[in-house]
Amino acid sequence: MKKIWIFLMVTFLLILQGCSSLNSKVVAVDSYSTVPVPGGTYYLSSETKDLELQQEAFAMNLSEMLAAKGYARVYNKKAAQYNIVFNYSSTGPLTSMQSYQVPVNPWWSSGPDMYGGIYDGYFGPQWVNSVEATTYFVKKLEVSAYSANGKPVWQVVGTMKSFNSEIRGSFDYLVSGISPFVNRSSNQIVYVDVSQDQATGTLVPTVSDY
């Protein structure tokens, strides 16, 4: 019976972890804009130290999103109306603790014989506290736009929780999550659900109410 109880507990924890992983597609966004400005040409750079090919792939992904906002990338900084800088990071591992109640089968006893049943005094439902420790990482994408003379124009920051440290698998979700708030003030931290369209494979951001 002890083996059955251990099996049930492990199964229950795996189910919880599966549900928690859905949160890895929720992006927390904070943004500000000094004044709404029209799109235009921009020079794109990053201060993050990374593999050149991977960073350029990230830059192309970001450029596609910015193009939909009316921004056109140029490779001559002096000819650009804006200087846009993007930085990204993965922080962790971090640990969160969660306590919850789990039921104890009334047919199980606490004595040496783990199958004492109701004849050992368990006539009603029994509950015990269980504590689960979850290890996770926080991925962050920060995009800042400056005018040609170096004045801040807008900035948007997106963060999300993930259960691995690899930024590559999360970058698309971060870009999609921040997209509704480019050149726009959020006035607070907002949460954006990013889901994948099953027909097209594209990521669709939806601003949440929570």
Q: Across residues 39-50, what is the average pLDDT?
A: 96
Q: Across residues 20-41, what is the average pLDDT?
A: 81
- The DSSP-derived string for 122-182 is --S-EEEEEEEEEEEEEEEEEEEEEETTS-EEEEEEEEEEESS--SHHHHHHHHHHHGGGT
Answer whether residue 13 shows pLDDT above 90: no
User: What's the mean pLDDT when you consider all of the chain?
Assistant: 82
Answer whether residue 96 shows pLDDT above 90: no
Cis omega (within 30 of 0) on the bond before 93? yes
Q: In the structure, what pLDDT confidence band is assigned to residue 23 with cuts at 50, 70 and 90?
A: very low
Residue 76 or residue 108, greater confidence: 76
Tokens (6 digits) for 57 = 């792939």
Amino acid at 132: E
Q: In the structure, what pLDDT confidence band is assigned to residue 105 with cuts at 50, 70 and 90?
A: low
Res 14: pLDDT? 40
Q: Across residues 157-184, what is the average pLDDT?
A: 95
**pLDDT > 90: percent of the chain:** 62
Give 177-202 pLDDT, tens digit per residue. Answer: 999 999 999 999 999 999 988 889 89
Amino acid at 32: Y
